[in-house]
Amino acid sequence: MGTHLPLDTPDYQGGGGARVVAPSPWVERWAACVASSDRVLDLACGGGRHALLFAARGCKVTAVDRDPTFVEAFANTSVRFVAADLENSAWPLSDARYDAIVVTQYLHRPLFPMMRSALAEGGLLIYETFAAGNAAFGRPTNPDFLLNPRELLDEFGDMRVIAFEDGFTAQPKPAMVQRIVVRNTVPRSVLPSHPCTL
């Protein structure tokens, strides 16, 4: 079983009027690389903080989580919510392709191949979760839920790596994290003219 634990960040108002944890600064930083018309997948979306961020930017967002009550966060928004257990059932998105995939504070390694398949050519993967050594700061502590050193880089490094971090963060709370942003590589002439096409 994977883990999905939000870092303690300030709240903001969600689509259904519910309080939603603010987006990850890592995701906010790289959201500018996602065009407003792009198809975005938020895996293990939890309360919807990233799905709502991208929907507010005009993206076509699909949010997936095993907890069906999270659908309330998307009331009165354009977000398509899919209630699915990503760990104990078939991949719920068949052959859908996305221009961006966002995953935060969630790790279930068997999903790595599905994420690769679902990422469109030229698409962006924005991933951030807890890493080895996090037990010194709190949950999660189970090694199954913690990335090994350089694991995201080893897994997705064959794509165009735009950014990678692996280590301690003090904000919004002390934790060991690993973060990566990669673009599914295609010939440069096919990529849109955008500063994030590095």
Note down pLDDT in tens along the chain; length 198 residues: 444 434 333 444 444 455 567 899 999 999 999 999 999 999 999 999 999 999 999 999 999 999 998 888 898 899 999 999 999 999 999 889 999 999 999 999 999 999 999 999 999 999 999 999 999 999 999 999 999 999 999 999 999 999 999 999 988 889 999 999 999 985 444 444 454 555
5 in a domain, yes or no? Answer: no
Return the CATH number at 119.
3.40.50.150
Which domain does 33 fall in, by range?
Answer: 11-197
2 in a domain, yes or no? Answer: no
DSSP collapsed to 3 states, 1-63: CCCECCCCCCEEECCCCCEEECCCHHHHHHHCCCCCCCEEEEECCCCCHHHHHHHHCCCEEEE
108 in a domain, yes or no? Answer: yes
6 in a domain, yes or no? Answer: no
122 in a domain, yes or no? Answer: yes
Question: Phi then psi for 175, rounded to 5 degrees?
Answer: -165, 160
What domain count does the chain have?
A: 1
Q: pTM for the full model?
A: 0.85
**Paired strand residues for 83:** 65
3 in a domain, yes or no? Answer: no
176 in a domain, yes or no? Answer: yes
